[in-house]
Each structure stands twice: as C-alpha cells, then as structure tokens.
Amino acid sequence: MIKAGDDLAALLAKGLEHTRLRLEDGDIVLVCQKVVSKAEGRLVHLGDVEPSPFARNYAARWDKDPRLVEVVLRQTSRIVRNDRGVLIVETGPGWVCANAGVDESNALDDERAILLPVDADASAAKIRAGLRRLTGAEVAVVVTDTFGRPWRDGLTEVCIGIAGINPMLDLRGTKDLGGRELHHTVIAVADELAGAGGLLMEKASGIPAVHVRGYSFEPYEGTAKVLIRPAEADLFR
C-alpha cells in the first residue's frame, strides 16, 4: 500500500527483483494512476471540503456525497454531461472522463478521495529517471487509468501520461498491402498498451505495474496530451 512520498521507481525496481526478467533498454513499464497519485500525495480529506451550493444541489438530486461532488468540480474545467447522476467532465489537463478521474473505490478510503496526478507526464518521467538510475535501463513509462467511454459498456485502461514513448503510431502516408495510401490511420498505441496492461492489473489484485517487452515503439520526448482530441475536431463536446 503506497503512501505519500514513497519512491515508486525504487519500489518498482525492488519488485522487479522478484521476477525472472531484468529491465532492459526498450522495455516499457506501465504504472497505474492510483499508486502514482498516492505516492504524490494527491489525497483530499473529505472533512476538509466545503461543498459549494451547486455541489449540494447536484448531490441532493442524485443522492451523492456533496463533498465528493465538490472534489470532482474542483478538478473540472468543463462539464461535458451531467445527466442521470453521471458527471462527465474535462479535467485541468484536458482528459475527458467520469468524475474527473476521482476514484470511487479502492482509491477512496473512508474519508479520502484520490485525485489524478497534476502532470502525469512528469510522473512518468520521474519514474523513468529513477528506473534508469537504479537499473541502468532506458525504459519507457506509461501511466494508466481506468476510464469509461461513450457507446460501449465497461471500462478500459487508457494512457494519461508518458515518458520516452510516442503514444501515437502515425501511419498516414504509408501504403497498405494493396498499395493504397493510408490517409487517416493514426493508432493510439499507448492506449492499446494500457489496455493490455489492464488485463493484468486487475482490480484488487494488488498489481500496480506491468513490465512489457518486445513491443517496438517510437522513442519520443513529449506529452500524452496528443491523445486528447482538439476541440475543433471533437464532435462530442
């Protein structure tokens, strides 16, 4: 159980000692948001939260904890939908998700709510640098979270922060097997990696990270926010 101030890279390096595989250059380490947020102290004590009138009204209408609604609203830059007791919002960094990514389970321990990292790219970079220092391996790091999505039921693990890997594989301009040029094909490989990791980071399994080997990715120093669809191309604002 991770506490604020814990050194995740050191804990991961130590955990890896119990596996058969050493980290190598080109490996990928997927880390779930929950442990990142806990290590970064992204906790809010609900007892310290004074709900706004809007949070109180909304909570009363949908039978929610007004303090938790207030915590969500404070992480929100835009409400996308607030029908039927579901708050789909845009968070400060631009991710669109339910409840601003504030956890309703596991993460939420009695009187505490857990928020998303302030900057999950920075979280990934810190873990990457720590693993490099401790193991000598130059790995990529992907911070993942469990999001819902429109039209499809069920949750999947997606990427919210990266270090060292291009979250997109841009195949535009390449040719398909028939020799036709691809015009629209950009694959969100970081989300597909997160999904693969989600199969193993099962809730309550206590597995907060997954070691990936053999996937050839594009090295990249940038941000996972390229995964956020720009407003002008977003038909579901």
Binding region for a second copy (CB under 8 A): 1, 81, 83-84, 86, 88, 95-96, 104-106, 108-109, 146, 149-158, 167-169, 171, 174-178, 180-189, 191-196, 198-199, 202-204, 206, 215, 226-230, 233-236
DSSP H stretches of helix in 26-119: 33-39, 53-62, 66-74
DSSP 121: H
Amino acid at 53: P
Do residues 184 and 194 touch, judged by C-beta distance below 8 A?
no
The residue among 33 and 146 lying less far from a second copy, judged by its C-beta, is 146
- The residue type of 96 is V
Q: How far is the CB of 197 from a second copy (least distance, A)?
A: 8
Nearer Cβ to a second copy (53/150): 150
Residue 217 C-beta-side C-alpha neighbours within 13 Å: 31
Residue closer to a second copy by CB (options 5, 230) is: 230
Supply the minimum distance, in Å, between the C-beta of residue 233 and a second copy.
8
In whole angstroms, the minimum distance from the beta carbon of 231 to a second copy comes to 10
CA distance 74 to 115: 10
Kindly tell me which of 50 and 202 has the beta carbon lying closer to a second copy.
202
* Closer CB to a second copy, 38 or 128, in the complex: 38
Burial 184-219 (b: 16+ CB within 10 A, else e): eeeebbbbbbbbbbbeebeeeeeebbbbbeeeebee
Distance of alpha carbon 136 from alpha carbon 156, whole angstroms: 32
Residue 57 C-beta: closest distance to a second copy, Å: 19
What is the Cα–Cα distance from 207 to 9, expressed in whole angstroms?
15
Question: Shortest Cβ distance from residue 206 to a second copy (Å)?
Answer: 6
Give the separation between CA 60 and CA 85, rounded to whole angstroms. Answer: 10
Distance of closest approach, residue 125 Cβ to a second copy, in angstroms: 21
52 versus 156: smaller Cβ distance to a second copy: 156
